Structure 1
Amino acid sequence: MGAFLKDLNDKGTTIILTTHYLEEAEMLCRNIGIIQHGALVENTSMKNLLSKLKSETFILDLAAKSPLPRLEGYQYRLVDTSTLEVEVLRETGHQ
């Protein structure tokens, strides 16, 4: 579905997409509006919105039966037996 929508958008079609997943919006949208409790709280470019994030989350697929890596200074959690989620804080003052 994403490839179909992206192709339509590349041909000049405006698409209004509703999603709860920023990753999905990031792949498909240049501009984004965020509605919270019925009010539009953000209306900006995707690039500008992403620059405001305080952290990024990385999903790592671990090799089978590998020991959990030590990641001192990072928040992380084991999602399942082979998936590790790591949160990395962005440096302030940089874009």
Structure 2
Amino acid sequence: MSELVGMQVKFTVLKNEDINKYLDEREKSDLSRILWKVQELRLLDGKPPLNTYLVVNTDETYAADIVHIMKANNHWGPVNDPNQAEMKYDGDMLILPETEEAIK
């Protein structure tokens, strides 16, 4: 989808159903501790502990409409963070960015 060019990979989204299905109890506990730590450190930084987000799958027919709305509200743009990857597509295929490790 050409509308996704320039999209920042800014969030990590895990489906609760996948967590319950694919993680064992130790992994669920580890994830819970990580999420708790992020929440506590956000509080120390003066940020709200939890944000609520709307999630749109890029394969939905209305995803392009959402991109246009985000662009109109200046919530879309080039990647400025070197720790973030830009989404790249070849037809319907997502092209993952090369890492230094993969280049060696």
Confirm or deny a common fold (TM above 0.5). Answer: no
Question: Which structure has greater helix proportion?
Answer: 2
Greater relative contact order, per chain length (Cα 8 Å cut-off, separation 6+): 2
TM-score, length-scaled by structure 1: 0.21
TM-score, normalised to structure 2, is: 0.20
